[in-house]
Amino acid sequence: MKITYQDMKTGVIEVLPETLDDLWHLSHIIEKEDLLSAKTTRRIQDTSGEKIRSDRGIKKTFYLGIRVENVKFHMYTGKLRATGAIEKGPEDLVPLGSHHTLEVKLNIPTRIKKEKWSRWTIKRLKQSIESSKKLSALILVMEDDVADLGLIRQFGVEYYGPIMGNLPGKRIEQKDRKKQVIKFYQSIVNALEKFKDVQTIVIAGPGFTKGDFHSFLNEKHPIIAKKSILESTGTGGRVGIHEVLKKGTIEKITAENRVAWEMSSVNKILVEIAKSSSMVAYGKKQVLNAVNAGAAKELLILDKLVRQEDMEKTMDIVESMGGKVILVSSEHDGGKQLESLGGMAALLRYAIE
């Protein structure tokens, strides 16, 4: 993400989203009542009264501004759409006041005008700009003749696969089986090569398959092998990917990876709850009591609650008392677990009643 224009006197910042992660960040930066402006395309029909039944109109591209009513990031399609009443645009093409859905697109500037940019919104924008300079990690989980990939993005995990090896039984002639194994390994390499920018690959899974594949990489694809590490898991598939995240493996390698860090943080809360510890608070009432008592050492809050619950003052209190605030994405499993706890939780400096 890049800032292409900024005028804080008028509350205007223009950004250029470059990745899906940027769109995800913008879905939390763009808020209700913001004036959002970008290029859009609409099909304009002939209103002269001579319209032919089959005439679907002409597509025209122009600059349009809407007063935002709601924002939605569609994780699986990678689309960010904002809906609201039109306030700016060519009046001969669009009636002002009518509703329109504006799609925020990659590599196309989008202008956001706010009545007031809060400290946390500015902080999030700066984090998204810094994060876009860093590369993601990839988890490859292997079990026998099946491989699953999980690309770690800032909004969560993007899954690919499964890649099936369809290996013959071990009774088949060893030479033929080895050919099939190499073919399977090469199909995994072909998938990995689509993510050349990824700096870290964790090869995980139960049993010996992961080690055999890593040996194959060392021999045939040393560049991929050099940025790969091995990790053991109790199972394969997506469950195995989650196991790697919970272990904090990615966090240790790339300390700035947000998803692994968030899932590891949520896991610490769950561990304390499982122990019936008095050093944890969860749910809005308990957490607010802990924060107001100065007991919150680490506050975890679901990203979508920041706006809904007006939690910015609470977050400021935690930081002013030397605590840490972690915004957790609602798009991954860690976020869903936090949501089941009321959307917020805190590790405490000391127990409170």
Confidence of residue 85 (pLDDT cuts 50, 70, 90): very high
Residue 126: is its pLDDT beyond 60? yes
Residue 349: is its pLDDT beyond 70? yes
Residue 306: is its pLDDT beyond 90? no
Share of the chain above pLDDT 90, in %: 53
Mean pLDDT of 62-90: 88
CB atoms within 10 A of CB 255: 9
Lowest mean pLDDT among 85-99, 158-172, 214-228, 321-335: 158-172
Confidence of residue 21 (pLDDT cuts 50, 70, 90): confident
The more confident residue out of 246 and 300 is 300
Mean pLDDT of 98-120: 91
pLDDT of amino acid 133: 62
Cross-strand pairs, 281: 346
CA torsion sign for 231, 235, 240, 246 is negative
pLDDT of amino acid 239: 94
- Structure confidence by residue, pLDDT tens digits, 204-246: 999 999 999 999 999 999 999 999 999 999 999 999 999 998 8
CB 34 within 8 A of CB 88: no
Per-residue tokens: 110: 């989008």
C-alpha 89: how far from chain center: 32
pLDDT of amino acid 82: 95
pLDDT of amino acid 188: 96
pTM above 0.85, yes or no: no
pLDDT of amino acid 255: 45
pLDDT of amino acid 294: 94
- The H-or-E segment that residue 134 falls in is none
Pairing of strands 296-302, 228-232: unpaired
Give CA–CA dist 43/176, Å, rounded: 59
Mean pLDDT, all residues of the chain: 86
Confidence of residue 305 (pLDDT cuts 50, 70, 90): confident
Lowest mean pLDDT among 15-19, 111-115, 176-180, 233-237: 176-180
- Structure confidence by residue, pLDDT tens digits, 146-166: 999 999 876 778 899 899 987
The more confident residue out of 132 and 64 is 64
- Structure confidence by residue, pLDDT tens digits, 254-274: 544 577 788 889 999 999 999
Full set of structural domains in the chain with CATH:
2-46+53-131 (2.30.30.870), 137-253 (3.30.420.60), 267-348 (3.30.1330.30)
pLDDT of amino acid 70: 93
pLDDT of amino acid 231: 94
Lowest mean pLDDT among 3-17, 193-207, 245-259: 245-259
Share of the chain above pLDDT 70, in %: 88
pLDDT of amino acid 329: 86
- Tokens 């995980």 label which residue? 204
C-alpha separations of 52 from 41, 60, 92 in Å: 22, 19, 20
Phi, psi of 207 (to 5 degrees): 75, -160
